[in-house]
Structure 1
Amino acid sequence: MGYLLTEEQQLIQQNAREFAQEYIAPAAAEIDHTGAHPADIVAKMVEQDFLGIFMPAEFGGAEAGYLSYSLIIEEISRVSGAVAAILVNHASLAAYSISRWGSGEQKRTYLAALCQGEKLGAFALAEPGAAPGAGQQKVVAHKDGDDYVLHGRKCYVANGGAAGVYIVVAQTKPEAGAQGMSAFIVDSGTAGLSVVRTIGKMGLRGCQSAELEFNNVKIPAANLLGAEGTGLAIAAEAQAAAAIAEGAMMVGIAQAAMEDAVKYGKQRIQFRRPIASFPAIQTMLADMAANIHLLRLAVYDAASLLEKGEPFANEAAIIRLFAARAGQSALIDVIQVEGGYGYSQEMPASRLYRDVKGVVIKDSSLDFPEKIIAGNLLA
């Protein structure tokens, strides 16, 4: 893939690969086993400027572009999908939202803190039992003089409990339905905001998910992100940006799984020859390689569009659709190649498969990707 990358991007990619091998690989299995937030590794990523890699230098970012960031996500995912998920939720959702819609003061206060690793970011959209803004426990924000008061619950908040800043999508005009949703910046230490529980998951376990309760949480009106009524539009674009990074996650996880299957196929002897010599095994490996290659190209293309300021929502939807199919297919075939060993926890395929599943379902799109793609075709 070097022909697509500048020398600077190749150096960033190599640095991320070496970082992942040195600092993340030794702890990857333990992170998966315990599900604990790897604060020490996050601190190491701060030292590498990973948390603000594509953000403006004015606010402490490295201005290296979204493609460079995607390369970092891919390399980290080859070692730990959980660590990559922490970075994606911080950068592609929380930091991106403030960078894109924040006021100058919001950027100076919050974006700088996110870029410099003073605070970890999270995006709170999903709510218990219903679509955002529709259920009995929906988060509602009432205007009270120069403040907003938030009340309700959010669930499955990635980085929840570990984050210092939350982007919270809340209902400001219930009578307007989806058009009455707005986004707010909420400090984790604000009175009335509490972590109800952390939610155990099959995969991406080191990326902590939590349920949050907002009990009359008062924040200044200046913490409104964008304009009232634009909350779902903000969420939709942020999720599209995250879909590109999640595509890079899928590339990294599937690449690691395929390499493990190739290694196993060369070593496993059946009928006096390596199983990698059998046509059925070669067909599965070839399908994996082709899908990973195509997904990687799609991710690089969409990341380049985003950093150039061009429309990218359709490409992000295509990535979301194809990544789900390609990633899950690859891991099923890897386990098939490795047989009983692949199904055991002695091999990495178990963790990689659970992480792939987490990438597919951890954030539901506001629209199904098929609807977005078809809508653009039929417009």
Structure 2
Amino acid sequence: MLFKLTDEQLMIQNMVREFSRKVIAATAAQRDKTKEFPAENFRQMGELGLMGMMIPEKYGGESADTISYVLALSEIAYSCASTSVVMSVQNSIVCESLYKYGTEEQKQQFLVPLASGKIIGAFALTEPEAGSDPVSQQTTAVRQKDHYVLNGTKRFITSGKHSKVVLVTAKTDESKGHKGISCFIVPKKTPGLVVGHLEDKMGLRASDTTDLIFENCRVPADLMLGKEGDGFKIAMSGLDSGRIGIAAQSYGVAMAAFDAAVKYAKQRKQFGMAISKHQAIRFQIADMATQIEAAKQLIFSVASMKDRKQPHTKQASMAKLFASEMVNQITARAIQIHGGYGFTKEYDVERFYRDARVFTIYEGTSEIQRIVISNQVLKDRRKF
């Protein structure tokens, strides 16, 4: 299927590209060294409408379609993957979950400031002993009159330190399995919520990743998101959208690495000519371009399905699986084309390589994506 972008989609892409290359890129390498959270960048992104793109304007968003969102997200990722992961979680998991399942009061109190970029949000699902298997999580929420008391530890939470509100899953009924998991909106100022260990990561170093510890954390009952037992459903719905976001991030980083590799290949001379004239390099460039184009088509396809409100769990996992594996191959090849220079911090491809590595891991490993895809294929009676 050939995707022809509308004038509005092209306008959004060009606007974000200009902002990303001028503002985001300017400090990306330095933030990678210092691990400084790009708060000012997010303030400007909020003003540009990038923190709640698919949320209706009445709730502080931009009412943009999913294709516009992935175009914008990939342009941010092109310059800084750390910034893009925060944008992705904010848009696809936090804001969308609140919009789909929140009450009107919850939307006014939390979604409006989140979608308008005035505050950062986080989603807390993973635990020390519950990563790929969220049903085995141990965080509990016990009802006490008009409150729930939360106890447990969440791990690897994006924006765990800098967020102002967190969506948290917890078991409200152990006996019901995945149907006994609920979701809560927890403001960070809530007593009993403690920000724990700050991870020192290989990549995405300007995006903070922390533990969140709940110690007799009392959350008002009216801050439950959805109904009791909806937590697993909310998480899976959010991950469908989040996986589209990771695919878009992967595409953006891959394009950055590809452009850097092509530029270097044209400039670097060996054996009396630019290395771009050597067949070995040309074949690598051809393979890289083909992989990137294939990923883009998968991303546009699932984004279009989401906009048409079609079921897209399988396609979201396919896009995430292919794009995240693709970007790891592209960034590795970009370093190879740079030779020894690619292994130094003088060139951005080294940072691209480190940032890309986690894309096959978070929001469902590649192995989990294969399980999701095969489950969907095997239960579908139609021809694949």
Q: TM-score over 0.5 for the alignment?
A: yes
Range class of TM-score, shorter chain: over 0.9
Q: In the alignment, does 2:71 pair up with 1:61?
A: no
The answer for unaligned runs of 5 or more in structure 2 is 380-384
* Letter aligned with residue 145 of structure 2: G
Distance across 1 between alignment mates of 2:75 and 2:293? 15
The residue aligned with 2:326 is 326
Q: Normalising to structure 1: TM-score of the pair?
A: 0.96
* Structure 1 residue aligned with 2:199: 199
Q: Are positions 1:123 and 2:106 aligned together?
A: no
Aligned twin of 1:151: 151
Match of 1:169 in 2: 169
Give the match for residue 78 of structure 2: 78
Instruction: Give the alignment of 1:1-379 within 5 angstroms.
Output: 4-130=4-130, 131-132=133-134, 134=136, 138-364=138-364, 368-379=368-379
Structure 1 residue 307: deviation in Å?
2.2
Structure 2 distance, partners of 1:373, 1:347, is 37
Aligned amino acid, residue 364 of structure 2? S
Partner Cα distance (1:356, 1:28) in 2: 15
| 2: CA distance, partners of 1:372 / 1:197 | 31
- CA displacement at 1:366 relative to structure 2: 11
Distance 1:367 1:279, change over 3 A: closer
Figure out how many residues of one structure are paired with residues of the other and give that number: 377
Q: Tell me the SS of whatever aligns to 1:78.
A: helix
Unaligned runs of 5+ in 1: none
Match of 2:382 in 1: none
Q: Deviations over 1:68-98 (max 9, x none)?
A: 1111101011100000011011111111111
- Deviation of 1:358 after TM superposition, in Å, equals 2.1
Kindly state the Cα deviation for residue 270 of structure 1 after the two structures are TM-superposed: 1.0
Q: Give the Cα–Cα distance (whole angstroms) in 2 for the partners of residues 205 and 122 of structure 1.
A: 17
**C-alpha distance in structure 2 between counterparts of 1:351 and 1:366, whole Å:** 22
Instruction: Measure the CA separation in 1 of the matches of 2:48 and 2:311.
Output: 29
- The one-letter code sitting in structure 2 at the alignment partner of 1:161 is K
* Cα offsets for 1:13-63 (capped at 9, x unmatched): 000000011211110001111112111111110110111111111111110
Distance 1:367 1:220 in 2: 37
TM-score, normalised on structure 2?
0.95
SS in 2 for 1:169: strand
CA distance in 1, matches of 2:229, 2:148: 14
CA contact (8 A) 1:167 1:184 kept: yes
Q: Distance in 2 between matches of 1:365 and 1:26?
A: 31
More displaced, 79-88 or 114-123? 114-123
- 1:307-350: per-residue Cα shift (whole Å, max 9, x none)? 22221111101012111221111111111111101111111111
The one-letter code sitting in structure 2 at the alignment partner of 1:272 is G
Letter of the aligned partner of 1:325 in structure 2?
E
- Supply the distance in 1 between the matched residues of 2:363 and 2:148 (Cα, whole angstroms): 27
Q: Which amino acid letter does the alignment assign opposite residue 73 of structure 1?
A: L
Please give the root-mean-square deviation of Cα atoms over the aligned residues, in Å. Answer: 1.7
SS at match of 2:229: coil
Alpha carbons of structure 1 residues 357 and 350: separation in structure 2 relative to 1, 3 Å? same
